[in-house]
Amino acid sequence: MRAVTVLGLGTMGLGMANRLLAAGHPLTVWNRSIARAREMEGAAARLADTPRSAVAGADVVISMVADDAASRGVWLGEEGALAGVREGAVLVESSTVSPDWIGELAEHARARGCHLVDAPVTGSRVQAQNGELRFLAGGDAEVIESVRDVLLVMGSEVTRLGPTGSGAFVKLVNNFVCGVQLVALAEAVALIEASGLDRELALGVLLDGAPGSPLVKVVAARMSAHDYEVNFRLDLMAKDLAYASDVARRYALELQTAQAAIRRFRAASQAGLGDRDMAAVVEPLRAASSA
């Protein structure tokens, strides 16, 4: 069993790390918050105090952090993972980050004699816990194949989408569509509630009809129950929509629906909901309609 390091034990990283441990991989973990990392210590994972020390001896290094800045901090610098990783290791960036940063990171990896795969995932907390993530991979086909068995411990599918950066690109497109759907649903829920109609009957029409995507069905239940335990953090969706908009501008495209969705998510963040589940985007709309 190859030695694996997981950098970042947030909503997703913790579930992924637990799956690797259960499969028998020798595992080292690092997290910015030491308290969160200690949850893994009792589960036979080695706990490291820096990314650099975490990757010593690792065959595969997986990063799952919040954004470009967090990823840069994990990989670069004196205590970054690239300062300590062995030559020939495979680096897997599973965070949702920009294709630009992936391109830069790939250059750093090559200079260190390592291989980079950008492999963000679809799915959220439950899928991470159950090993049902779908990896959207970019990079050399042989390198991706060499870590497929490790990725499939954490997921149900690995799809190579093209060269380095392809996984990051498609993940942003995926989250753009999800974010717009989510805001449309939030506005619909607020409108139904403001009308005084029976919410569950009206939502049933939507969920059983054409609008009833898997995402809409799951998030509608959370909105109805006011259940905002984090499956996907609200402020991360705002970040992903902003990254997608930036990428689109390079192709002379303006994602107007993404801009509208960003405004809704940022309003929710300003209302103190940024660290709650993305379904909480409905709450400022509810408050406005009842004012």
114 CA to centre of own chain: 23
Span 102-116, pLDDT tens digits:
999 999 999 999 999
Asked if residues 78 and 52 have their Cβ atoms less than 8 Å apart, the reply is yes
Q: Decide if pLDDT at 38 tops 90.
A: no
Determine the Cα–Cα distance for residues 8 and 287; give it in Å rounded to an integer. Answer: 35
Determine the Cα–Cα distance for residues 199 and 154; give it in Å rounded to an integer. Answer: 37
pLDDT score for 41: 64
Asked if residues 37 and 30 have their Cβ atoms less than 8 Å apart, the reply is yes
The pTM of the full predicted model, rounded to 2 decimals, is: 0.96
Nearest C-alpha neighbor of 90 from the set 154, 3, 170 = 3
Nearest C-alpha neighbor of 6 from the set 67, 103, 170, 40 = 40
- What is residue 163's DSSP assignment? S
Q: Mean per-residue pLDDT for 145-171?
A: 98
Q: Mean per-residue pLDDT for 66-75?
A: 98
Span 233-279, pLDDT tens digits:
999 999 999 999 999 999 999 999 999 999 999 999 999 999 999 99
pLDDT score for 33: 85
pLDDT score for 42: 63
Q: Where in the chain is the domain with CATH 1.10.1040.10?
A: 169-290
Span 185-242, pLDDT tens digits:
999 999 999 999 999 999 999 999 999 999 999 999 999 999 999 999 999 999 999 9
**64 — pLDDT class (breaks 50, 70, 90):** very high
Q: Decide if pLDDT at 119 tops 90.
A: yes
Determine the Cα–Cα distance for residues 253 and 269; give it in Å rounded to an integer. Answer: 26
Q: Write the CATH number of the domain with boundaries 169-290.
A: 1.10.1040.10
- What is residue 270's DSSP assignment? I
Q: Where in the chain is the domain with CATH 3.40.50.720?
A: 4-163
Determine the Cα–Cα distance for residues 105 and 117; give it in Å rounded to an integer. Answer: 10
Q: Decide if pLDDT at 44 tops 90.
A: no
Q: What value does the mean pLDDT of the chain take? A: 96
User: CA-CA distances (angstroms) from residue 89 to 13, 28, 29?
Assistant: 20, 15, 16
Nearest C-alpha neighbor of 19 from the set 130, 122, 139, 98 = 130
Q: What CATH number does domain 4-163 carry, 3.20.20.450, 3.40.50.720, 3.30.750.24, 3.40.630.30?
A: 3.40.50.720
